[in-house]
């Protein structure tokens, strides 16, 4: 049976041991790193499903660790830090963290945060989806869904805009005129949420909650603009004149299926 893997990155040995014990009880195979360099090495070697990441490390700043991890891994990253400033939270989210937990915190809160990120499998690989289901021992209010008998139907691309823009949710794939557009996890989730609300203005705060799966909404939602700018740049590279995603000043964004 597959055993989920977690890397706990924490320079405080007592805190690291407490998090490790919690995740071990929840069914994770846990390793602990006390420096940024050690963390990067372990993450590359172990390919974990989950990383808890302290930002204040003795060598490499945790923000840079997260940035480097995101170049090769789609694992869930929960920042666990004593930094309480809004800028630190925004930086953590901008470089790819899935959640931000401020010290001191309770183990029950950490359990809830882990459960929240694992509610959202983000791969079409059935084995990975199974691995990323909610860990044993982590509480959740959502009911279990019984398995559906029979073979799983192949994911189908759905036309969502002009110029042959298609979105394949099952395969997490976006194509323009048959050519795949290489999107990050966050960019795909942003586009999928906007497409689901086509023609409706979606506020930045809603996108932050939906895509990052967090109830923390900072005074500034610049992180949303950063990722949407990257998404637009990639779509325009594939279809230069497209205007699928429109900015509604002072409110949010709207997906228009027609690009004219």
- Mean of per-residue pLDDT scores for the chain: 78
Least confident of 5-9, 27-31, 83-87, 181-185: 83-87
Domain ranges of the chain: 4-131, 158-255
The pLDDT tens digits of the residues spanning 42-87 come to 999 999 999 999 988 998 888 889 988 988 888 999 998 887 776 6
Average pLDDT over residues 116-139: 51
Token pair 């990052």: residue: 212
Answer whether residue 244 shows pLDDT above 70. Answer: yes
Give 69's DSSP letter.
H
Token pair of 61, please?
């700043």
pLDDT band at 2 (very low <50, low <70, confident <90, very high): very low
Answer whether residue 129 shows pLDDT above 60. Answer: no
Q: How far is CA 203 from CA 133, 177, 252, in A?
A: 29, 29, 4
CA-wise closest residue to 218 among 119, 126, 112, 86: 86
Fold of 4-131: Rossmann fold (3.40.50)
The pLDDT tens digits of the residues spanning 215-230 come to 554 555 677 888 888 8
Secondary-structure class of domain 158-255 per CATH: mainly alpha
Q: Do domains 4-131 and 158-255 have the same CATH topology?
A: no
């Amino acid at each position: 049976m597959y055993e989920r893997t977690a890397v706990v990155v924490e320079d405080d040995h007592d805190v690291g041991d407490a998090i490790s014990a919690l995740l071990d009880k929840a069914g994770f195979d846990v390793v602990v790193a006390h420096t940024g360099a050690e963390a990067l090495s372990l993450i590359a070697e172990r390919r974990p499903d989950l990383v808890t990441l302290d930002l204040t490390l003795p060598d490499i700043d945790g923000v840079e660790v997260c940035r480097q991890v995101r170049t090769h891994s789609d694992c869930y990253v929960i920042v666990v830090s004593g930094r309480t400033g809004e800028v630190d939270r925004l930086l953590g989210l901008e470089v790819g963290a899935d959640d931000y937990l401020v010290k001191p915190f309770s183990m029950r809160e950490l359990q809830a945060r882990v459960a929240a990120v694992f509610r959202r499998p983000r791969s079409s690989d059935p084995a990975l989806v199974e691995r990323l289901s909610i860990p044993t021992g982590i509480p959740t209010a959502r009911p279990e869904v019984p398995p559906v008998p029979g073979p799983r139907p192949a994911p189908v691309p759905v036309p969502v805009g002009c110029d042959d823009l298609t979105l394949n949710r099952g395969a997490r794939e976006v194509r323009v005129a048959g050519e795949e557009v290489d999107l990050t996890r966050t960019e795909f989730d942003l586009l999928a949420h906007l497409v689901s609300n086509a023609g409706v203005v979606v506020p930045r705060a809603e996108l932050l909650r939906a895509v990052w799966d967090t109830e923390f909404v900072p005074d500034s939602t610049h992180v949303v603009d950063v990722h949407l700018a990257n998404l637009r740049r990639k779509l325009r590279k594939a279809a230069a004149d497209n205007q699928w995603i429109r900015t509604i000043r002072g409110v949010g964004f709207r997906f228009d299926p027609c690009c004219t």
